[in-house]
Chain A
Amino acid sequence: MADVSLQTTPRVRSGRRNLRLWLPLAWITTLGLAALFAPLIAPHDPLYQDLFLERLPPFFMSGTEPGYWLGTDSLGRDVLSRVIYGTRIALCVSLIAATATCLVGSTLGLLAGYFGGWWDRVISRLIEIWMAFPPVLFAVLLVAVMGTGLTSVIVAIALIDWTRFARVIRAETMVQAQMDYVDSAQIGGARRLTTLVSEILPNVLPSIVALLMLEMGIAVIVEAILSFVNLSLSSDVATWGSMIAEGRNAIHFAWWVLLFPLIALFLTVLSFSQLGEGLKQRFDPVLQ
C-alpha cells in the first residue's frame, strides 16, 4: 500500500516540475551549441563594420536588409552574430568562474560546518571580513590591479562570491552534522573525513548544485557589468555586456541593439536559477 502511494503522488506534480527543468535546460543547451558552433551559425563576422549598413532594424520592421535578422548597431555590425558570439564569453565565464567559486566556497563551508572549533572560527571570521567589502568596488579594484581580461574577471567573481557558498553550505553542514547517521558512521568505524565526504556531502549536494546554477547566472551578470564599465575584455570581442553598454547610447533610435543581448542575458540568468531549483528537487530522493 505504501508503495502505491509513493509511486503515484509525485507523478501528479511532476509535469510542472519537469517543465521547470527542461525549459531552462533547452535554453542553455541552445546557448552551448551556439557558443560551440558560432562561426558556422553566425551569418556575419561579429566585428565587421559596415558604415553603409548602420542601425538596420530587425526583420519584423520596415527598412531591413536581408540577412540581418536582428538588425545592426551604430557601427553596422550584425546584432545576431554579436549575440551568438557573446554566448562564448558568457558561458565560458559562467562555467569556469562558477565552478571555481563553488569549489572554494563549498569546501570551506563543509570544513567549517563539520569540524567546527578552530576551523569554524577562522573560516567564519574570514567570511565576515570578506563580506564587509562592497562587492562591486572589490571587483573593480581587483580588475584594476590585475588588468582587464577574462582571467581577472573569473578570479574576481570567485574571490567575491565564495562567501555565498561558504555561508549556506556551512549552515547546511551544521544541520546535517547533528543527524544520527553521522554518529552511526563513527560507530561503524568511519574516519571523520570519510564521514564528511560520503555521508554528509551527498545530503548537502542538492544545495551545492542549486547554488552553482545560481552562481552561473550571477557570473553572466557580473561579466556583463564588467564589460559594461569596460573592465572585462578589449572592445574587439563581442560580449553581451559591451553590447548593452553600446546599445544604451543608441536606445532612442536603435533600441534593438540594447534589447536582444538584454533578452539573452535575462533568459540565461533565469534559466540557470530555475535549473538549480529543478535539479535540487530532482536530486532529492525524498521528494522524487
Chain B
Amino acid sequence: MAAPLICPQTAPAPALFSVRGLRLSFPDTAHKPLFAPAPRIEVLKGLDLDLPRGQITGIVGESGSGKSTLGRVLVRLLRPDAGQVLLNGQDIATLDEAALRPLRRNLQMIFQDPMSSLNPRHKIWRIVAAPLARYANDTSTRNASAARRDQALRALERVGLDPSFGERYPHELSGGQRQRVGIARAIALEPEFILADEIVSGLDVSSQAQVLSLLKSLAQEMNLTIAFISHDLSVIRHLCDNVIVLNRGEILENGPVEQVFAAPQSDITRLLLDAIPLPELDDKWFD
C-alpha cells in the first residue's frame, strides 16, 4: 500500500504524443439559422495530455464526452481548431493530407465495428495487404505483390488466424475473428501508435477477453503505444498503464491507473467508478 507511485510528470519516459490546448468544435446543424453559418458546439475544450511511449493509455468517459473525437484527432482523421498535437516533437495538428501520408504508417487504428471497417467486397488478405502495398517502394513487380500477400498472411498468423482465412470475405468470419483482422491490419505496418476505439464492445465476453489479451501481448512484443477508448472501467484497469477520464470535453483525471482508481480526484470519476460494476476479472485473461 505504501509503495511509492511513479508520477508521470517526473518519470523520464518521453511522450510519443504531447497534446497542448487542443480544441475542436462541430457545426450544430440542428440550430442553423437560415442565412448564417451554423453555431458551433465545442466538443474538446482545451485538452493537455501526454501519451507515454510504449504504454497503454485508457480513455474513459460517458457517451458523448469526446473520447472518439480526441482519438480521431490523434490519428488526424479530424483536424483540430486550435492547439498542438506533437508526435515525436512534430506538430501534426495542421498538416495537410499529403504531408500526413508518410506519417500515417505510424498512426494506425482499430475500429469499433469490424463489419463496417472491413470492406465487404475485399478478401481478408487484400484488406490487410492494402496499407502494406501503399507504403512499399517496389509496387511495380509481381514479386512484390506476392511478398505483400505473404506479409499480410504473416500478420494474420500473428493475431492467431490461420493463413487460410486470407481467402475469405469478412462476412465469412465470426465477430472475434473480424476484430483480429482489424488488429492484423493495424499492426502489419509495424506502427508506433495504435488507436483502439471501443474495439471489444461488439463482442461477447469470451471473445472480448481473447482480443484484449492479444492486444496486450502484441503491445508488449512490438513496444506499441496504444490509446484504448472504452466504457468499461474493469477492462481499463486490467489492460492500461494510464487512464484519462474525459467529461464533456475536459480532462478530469490523468494518471497511472492504480493512482486514479485508488484516489480519484473528482466527484464525477468517483461516480463513474461507483456506477459501473467492477466484476472481479480473471487476471489469466491477459497473460
Chain A residues packing against B (C-beta within 8 Å): 2-3, 6, 179-181, 183-192, 198-199, 202-203, 285-286
Contact = CB atoms under 8 A, between A and B. Distances in A.
B121 A203 contact: yes
Contact of A181 (B97, B118, B189): B118
A189 B131 contact: yes
B130 A187 contact: no
B285 interface: no
Interface residues of B, number: 29
Given A186-B77, A187-B75, A187-B108, 11 more contacts: A180-B112, A183-B117, A184-B111, A187-B131, A188-B104, A188-B130, A188-B134, A189-B131, A198-B130, A202-B119, A285-B171
B187 to A, nearest CB: 12
Nearest to A183: B77
Interface string B90-112: 00000001000100110111011
3 tightest Cβ-Cβ pairs between the two chains A and B: A188-B131, A180-B117, A202-B121
B270 interface: no
A189 B171 contact: no
B116 A180 contact: yes
Chain A at the B interface: mostly helix, strand, loop or mixed? helix
> Which residue among A3, A180, A191 has the maximum number of chain B CB atoms within 10 Å of its CB?
A180
A100 B123 CA distance: 31
B117 A285 contact: no
A285 B116 contact: no
A203 B170 CA distance: 13
Interface string B225-247: 00000000000000000000000
B119 A199 contact: yes
A189 B122 contact: no
A203 B171 CA distance: 14
Interface string B52-73: 0000000000000000000000
25 contacts: A179-B116, A179-B117, A180-B113, A180-B116, A181-B119, A183-B117, A184-B118, A185-B130, A186-B77, A187-B75, A187-B109, A189-B101, A189-B104, A189-B105, A189-B135, A190-B130, A190-B134, A191-B101, A199-B122, A202-B122, A203-B120, A203-B121, A285-B120, A285-B171, A286-B171
B174 interface: yes
A258 B8 CA distance: 88
A202 B120 CA distance: 9
Contacts of A198: 130
B169 interface: yes
B32 to A, nearest CB: 16
B116 A187 contact: no
Nearest to B75: A187
Given A2-B174, A285-B169, A187 B104 contact: yes
A183 B108 CA distance: 11
Contacts of A6: 172
Contacts of A185: 130
Contacts of A181: 116-119
A237 B134 CA distance: 54
A89 B53 CA distance: 70
Given A202-B119, A202-B121, A203-B119, A184 B109 contact: yes
